[in-house]
Amino acid sequence: MNTFQKIYEAVKRIPKGKVATYGQIATLAGNVHWSRVVGYALHVNPDPENIHCYRVVNRNGEVSSAFAFGGKNMQISLLEAEGIQVENGKVDLEKYRWRAENE
């Protein structure tokens, strides 16, 4: 199991209508310090259809500005389509943050 593979698995675990932070993904993948690798892993995103990278937001709940797969607006639209309210490019982590430890 490669590091990237773990990250992808963690991202795929994010349920519909929920979002996860890079830190969450990094923790689920193995180490919280992999936050950078998580970003890079999603950057290469070999399987965007299965890897819902748009559900991953930074620690502030804000979508990545470098999300160039269709524009930041596209990511927000996808999140709203799942029932996630996005305000000013940010989501309410207190309400929409996926809590893996609660599963």
Partner DNA sequence: GGGGTGACGCGTC
Partner DNA sequence: CGACGCGCCACCC
53 classed as catalytic: yes
Output b/e per residue, 50-60; b: 16+ Cβ within 10 A.
ebbbbbbbeee
Q: What is residue 97's three-state secondary structure?
A: strand
* Pairing state between β 86-87 and 20-21: unpaired
Which member of 25, 29, 53, 86 is catalytic? 53
Least Å from the CB of residue 17 to DNA: 19
Which two structure tokens, joined as six digits, stand for 48? 């965007």
Q: Looking only at residues 38 through 97 of this chain, which bind DNA when binding is defined by CB under 7 A?
A: 38-40, 42-45, 53-54, 56, 58-60, 64, 66-67, 69
CB of 90 to DNA, least distance (A): 12
12 binds DNA (CB under 7 A): no
φ/ψ bin of 9: left (φ > 0), alpha (ψ from -120 to 50), beta (otherwise)? alpha
Interface residue list for DNA (CB under 7 A): 2-4, 21-23, 26, 31-40, 42-45, 53-54, 56, 58-60, 64, 66-67, 69
Positions marked catalytic: 53
